[in-house]
Structures are given as C-alpha cells and as structure tokens.
Structure 1
C-alpha cells in the first residue's frame, strides 16, 4: 500500500511504501512480530502505537534492530515536554514525535541492508512494557517496464492505430525477485496477466487485441509490474488513439433549384473522422477546386463549404462531397445533391448535314436546324434574316417545322445572315449568325435600256455593272447597228477597248458612221453559273437623232399574241418606229418590224416565252 504523510520536522512530504501482513497487535501475546515489505529507495514507516493502549501515554520509547541489545534510537516523552533534546534522529532513521501518539520509526531511502527485525519498546509508568516487532524485508525492484510495438521500443505516451485493426504490444521488465509479475490493465481491470520469463530473468507480457473498435479510441492501457502482496514497483501507461474513418456526411444547400452563373453557398458536414478527413467536391467527373475548410477537432466534426456557380451544362449532374481519411484509405463516404439548374436557351444554328455550304445555288432547296438547350423548356422559336423576322410562308418557299427552317427554290434574295432565337422564363437565347451565299447568274444592275447621245466623232464610255455570286465575271460586248438588218445578228465593235474591274466593265469606242456605229450595244456578263439572261443594253444615238420611245409595256393577254405599247411623248411628228424582239435565253432575234406609231402586235408569242424588246425611233 502507499501512504502519504505531512511534514515531519525538517523533512518534506515523502512517499512511504510498506506492506504489512496481519497488522493487529494483541498485548496479551508476548513479543508479537509483523512481516513488512518495502521497496528499496523508498521511505518506510514502522508503526509503534498499539490501538489497545491509545488512552495511555508511554514515558519512554526505544527502537532496536535485532540481534543488537542496545537501542539505536530513543524518545523520552517527559524530557520532550520539557524541551530537552533527545536522540531522535540518525542518518536515514527518525522517530516521529509530532503525532498525538508518537513513536513511529521512519527509514529513509531504504536498502536491502536495512532488512531485518526491528523492535519497538514502550515503557509506561504503571502498565506493563509492550514490545512490537517488525520483520522488514527491503526488496530491490526490477527495472522500469519497456513497451515495444511492431518490434520497436515505444517511449511515447500515445500510439496511433487504424480503426478496426489489431494491436500487439509487449511489456517487459527485468531484474527484481522471482515473484515479480507483469500485467496489463484497462480502466483499472486486469486485461492480461499471462507472461513469459526467459533465462535472463526478463518477464514479458504480450498483449494482443484482435479488433480495435471505435470504443478503444482514447483508452489508456497500463502495464504494471507488481511484487508480493500487489506492491506496484513499476508502470507504463499508453493512450490508444485510433485513426477513425468518417461516419456521417451530409451536403446542405439553402435552395433546391439553381440559376446558371449565380453563386450559391453549399456546405458538407463530415462527422466521426480522426484526424480530419480530406474533403473534395465534384460536379460529375470534374473536381471543384476552390473550397473553404473548417475543422472542429473537439467533436470530430469537419465542415467544407464551396461557392458554386453552376453552368447550364451542370443541370442534371450530381454535386458530390467525398470524404476520406488518408490514414484509413479504404473508408470513403460521400453524399450527393442533384443539380437542377435553370438558364435561358442556348441555341446553335447549323446547315442540314446533306448540304455543302460552299455550293448553294439558285433554285436549290435547303434547310437549317436550330438546336436549343433550355431549362425550363422554351415556348417560342423565331427566325430572322439580316435582322428581319422571317414568317412561315409556303407560297414564298419559307417553311418552319419544329426547330428547322426549310427554304425552297432559292433565289439571291435568300442570301444573308440567318439567326434563330428561343425564349423561356429565364430569358432569350440568340444563336450564332449563319451566313448563306446563294450562287446565281449575273444580273444587270440597270433594268432598263440606257440611252446615250453622242456627238459625231466623240468617244463614248459605256459602263456595265453586274450583280452576281460568285463575282468572278467575264464580259462580252456586241452591237446591233441601225443600218443593218437585225436578223443578221450582232457584230463586234471595231476599235473598242474594254476595261474590267471586278463586277464592272467599261467599253470605250468612237462611233462615226450612223448606220454601222450607232444602235443597241449589249453587255453580257458571265460567271460559273452561266450567262446573263437579260444583258445590259445601251441605245447609242447620234446627237440630233430623236430619242427612243419611253414607257414601253409588254402585254401578253392571251391567244399567243404579244402587244408592245410605248409612248411617243416628246418625239417629233412623222417619226418612224423600229421594234426588235429577242429570245432572252439565246438572244436570238425572233421578230422585227417598223411602224408609224409606237404600237406593235406580235403573233406566236406564248406567256412562257421570255423575250427582250428594243424599240428605236
């Protein structure tokens, strides 16, 4: 047992280790003797105050160590009361005179040489003398125990082990008497008392715990070295700290629906992990890198927070919070939240797969597809060309079906930039601009015949401009002279020079002869799509010659009859009028006639025939 005492004169508080067997004094039996066991190096107290004589005060107390007959310490109570100095102390020995019942012997820093029988003699004034004998055995203890873990000496006060794992730890003590035991305790209860002793008097107790549940976390194990009568002569304590896998995880958000590109605080709480887990966030297979992490170690609680800016492409994805304790890598837990992201429509405009954007020609049929991604679904889809809204019109070849735009029998009017747009409750989404260039044969930029009056012998410059795509053009100039029968066709223009600049061609020549150099000059432009169906026409007249009729109309009411009616306003009287009629496809002269009035009736012309008329006065 361990006993603590207060100050004993000049000595500080000391630790007393002493074990008695049968400590019960019977004054009716002579020379009682008590076995006492003490540990070397400690302070020993040998009592000398029988309870049966507590009401009596001895006059003289003497201490002997047998077989010596002379006391080595004495205490005269009467002299002590009168302030006399008694022989109370010797090196490492002292009689306690401070208690109500003085006489106890203290042995400081006891050693094996102090072992033996000690006798206390109490002399009373009237009562018989009492002798109390102590057979004190001072034992040299074994060395302090050594702990080993995984074949390595472990000196720290704690150890870290994976949860659900196992523990094997040895405690060994060497030296001391043969009765020494090495035992393991948990919460003061014996856990393992089986030990082995080798030839070198080393005692080893191997503790094995096959399954370390979470309940073992923080548990203090004690290896204790004890001797006879449970004297503790050495101990080592070690605390078990478990690497704990996370138990619970929860993702929390304040909303159930998210707007695209708006920030939202979302938290993930992980419970039960030690040390704090690694927490990561994922949207689908993509990791979210910017997070805020807070650890509350006292409760094994970890909180990770992100500010999420969801994109339209996150809609329907799982936002996942994943926790893993790096020391328990097999224990991974996660919680997920399905993202419902609302956003305005995302629209993409493309040409139908079967069409070649570089080879769209006049007369072709094509279609455009508008791919729309929207949440909530769109409720309006609109098409525009060059900024102007297109309307569904089968008559004009504009057909809108679901999310497609069909364009039939294309003309150059369909050339331009197309856009589709979709509208939902989040707003309007406008697609990319898609450019369509319709290839067509050249068209003269001027629809009417241009009259040019030239003084005799002057140069004339005729400018011919064509609209076309592609605009890599070639030009051909010809003249239908006044003095030549139109049925003989057109002629080249002698001495003429031609300059071509892109879509424009300029002809320069000097008309001299009225009959051969004046008349209708034609400019025919061509590209890879073909020739102009109606060439540009210039009526080159000599100054002083009447102007051409104006306000001409071509009428084809029925019965294969074409009427050509012009105005003779501002023309002199007695004017003769000439009519030439050409087929546009071949520019072949199919009719010519003269008349005194600008009115002609041409038979045999059907409504399907495409013609070009020229009239001179």
Structure 2
C-alpha cells in the first residue's frame, strides 16, 4: 500500500556576532592597549565605540562599572545612511553618522562597502577624578557573552584641599625659629607648593623643603620671625603644574611677640629749630610691642633739677594676676576661689567662669559669682567625682577679653603620704636627733608627729610635733634602747607611721684622774713674807746692840 507523506517546516535563525569592536578617541583614532591620557581634569572628553558586522546589528553601549552611560546607538549602512536606531535609558546624549566613502578608523573598512556597523558616542562635558575606566560592549543575542572593550583614563588632577599645621595659632617669639607645615592632598601626579609672606602690602616668596607621598605632598617652612612680621600674612598655595589655574591656597596671620621698640621725638612743631631755656617743649613717644606695653614712663635729667618722670597708662586687656592654683577639697566642702586680674580700665569688668573635666565643658551660673573691683569670687562645692576638674576665669573690659584665663584645679583632698628616707643624724648620752623627707601633703597643709618609746616594753615616753619632719629628743637614759615613730597629719587624716628602732644611747666612760697637790692660798705667802722680814729686822737689832755693848767695855778698861 502507499505510505503517507510527512512534511515539516523548520525556521532556522542564525545570529552572526560582530566581527570587530573598536574604541576611538575624539580625533577618531583607535585607543591602543586600552589606555588614554594623560587628560586634564575639567576638560571635555568624547569617545566613540564602533562595532562592525553582526546580524542582527548589535546593541552597542557605554558603561562605567555597572552604570549604563550612552543613550542612543545607530546602525550605519554601507552607503552611510542610518538604517535604524535604538533608545537606551542613560544620562548622556549622543548622535553619530558617517559620510559615504569615509574610512572607518581602526576597522579597515570604508563606508559604502562591507557590512553595516554600529557607532555609539560618549560625551563627558567635564572630566573629574571619578572618571577612571569606561567600557564599551556589543551584543546582538543573549546566547553568548557580549564583546567588551575597556579604556583606562589617566587624568591630571588638581589638589582638593590644603592646610597649614604646626604652631600657627600660637604666638611666635622674635628671633626664635618657627616651623610651619603645609599639606596638600588629592593631586596627581604630584603637587607643587609655594610659600609667600605679605607685610604692609609687600609680598615675597619664601624658600621651603618638599616631601612627596602617594596623593599627598608636605612642604616645610622654617621661619625666624622679626618684629615687623607681626600680623604678616603667610600664604601656602598648592597647584598641579600640568593644569591651568591658581590651584588652592590657605593663609594664616603671624602673631609675633617682641620686646618694645621705643622712639622719642620732639613735637612736630618744634622739630628742626633750636630750643631756648625755659621754653616749653613736648615730645612724642612711639612704641611698638606685642603684647601691648603695660606702662609707659617718661623721665628727664637734663639740668640740676631732681630727676622726674611722667607715667602714661595705656588701655590694657585683662591679665591674670595670680598663678595657677591647685585646690584640695573634699566632697560636700565649700571653697572660695578668687580670680584677680590686672587691667586698665578696671571699671565695668565682666567675669565668666567655665568648668572643664575629661567629659565636658560648661559655663558656671552667674548666681554663684560675685565681682568686686578687679576680682571675681566663686563659691564652689564639689558633690560628686565629676565635679573635680579645672575652673577657668575670663575677664573682659572695654578693650576685650583676656588672652589666657586664670585657672584653678580642684582636686579631691585626702590624708598625706608617709615620710621617707628617715635616718638618725645624731645621738649623745641623753639625746637623739632624727630627720626624714616629707611626702605629698594630700592637698592640705601637713604637720609631723614623733613618738618616742622605750624598747622592748614599748612604753611611750614622749610626743613631739613640728612643721618639718625633724626632731631633737632630750632627757633620755644612756644605755637604754629606744624606737621613734614619725607620722604626717593634715585635716583629712594621718599617714602610715615610719619607725626607727634599735636606737641605743651611749654610756659615760670611766677614766682615772691624775693626783695633784692642793693649791696654796696667796694669803699664806704674804704672811710668810711678813714673818721672815720681821725676823731679819730683829736679828739686825740684836747684832747692833751687842756691838754697842762691846765698844763700851773697851773704853772703861783703858781709862783704868
């Protein structure tokens, strides 16, 4: 029998992928090796992506990462006419068509021959530092991955910001070298930094040294300020030498402290002519100083008259008249803090107090503050550990507010520390002397107490008190052992006592004395002298008497 005939119709769709995909620059030149640049920040950039071949014509689009950029692609026929277009939801508009017979750069094709090609144009009105990489993709089917070409941009970048660091906000000292650093960031490939100083409308360039790092440049300026530099403007400018424009800059004003410069001149109406005796004259004194002089004195000594002076007072900002104070006070105790300032004028002074600790800074309520003349008093009572910190007092008059406040550091009071380095410095038969080094006073005045004990019975013999840890103990027994304790005491308590023990006093040594004859009284010598003289006189009288008798006997015998 005859078999039936079976017929089938198959619709075969064949996708022809694009044969070439090329990225071109604004001059329609192919971008080689995927690199383009260097370009300038802020300049306009136009790129083209050209896909040749493909059936159906591919969709060609521009991407930045995962963000779609181009908004329209065009299919160009062999005669240069637009065969079709396709809308794409993007941010940058572009259009493109070729003239018939024009060479298509990078493809080796001429318009008017070969397969159709698709062109997508990307226009960036102003390049920024975020424009680094762009990709172009071509695809006409979801069955295969798209063809992708990527271009990496090298862009010269301006510095984004510049700052001057170091001690620019502190007062500089005349003749003492100061260091200022200027740091610039954000530029590529590097930043040039220049310094200039402007004084009284005159600007001069200053030498400096540079240090370069990745995306960061630091210039160091070493400056020895003169008194004329007070108030000068120091400008640091950072710029990219590859880009037009002034770059970015910042300035600081110098605050230079210097000793007063004084100029004394005759009054304007007297200058240039002789001055006669007894004629009134006047002088002009010009003073330059920072800070402002507190006083100006006039003195004269041009004749036999006694020297005299005239005092001229200037209006002065308040200045703290007391040194920083540390006050020890316990919780719940009240302390009175007095803030005294020197100022002129002193009337209408206004005071402001601030409290600062490691957590916050706050202004003290005016109800706790009293003002009298050039001083302000604050009654302060810490009630919690957070109430301990630093109180700052600022005074203001018609001139302004004082530059540095008066400060009072409130610390928690406590007992003193123990004495240290105790030693026996001297001991005799019935006395001893000890000396120690004092410890911390705990924030309050301290005194020292010494107790003397007999050893080993530990019987207390004496208690002594002194303002310094130095004690002299008398009335002790030689040969006895003693120990001494020394304690520091203030109104918050006492320290741990320090003890010196095993002190034994010396015993008197026994010595044999030399035997000597008792001394003779001077009266005995006088008496013996008188007796001897009397005996001599008596002997002379006896001899004379005998001689006289002998002569009388001889005469009688001769007369017979």
TM-score (norm 2): 0.39
Structure scoring higher RCO (CA < 8 A, sep ≥ 6) equals 2
TM-score (norm 1): 0.36
Larger Rg: 1
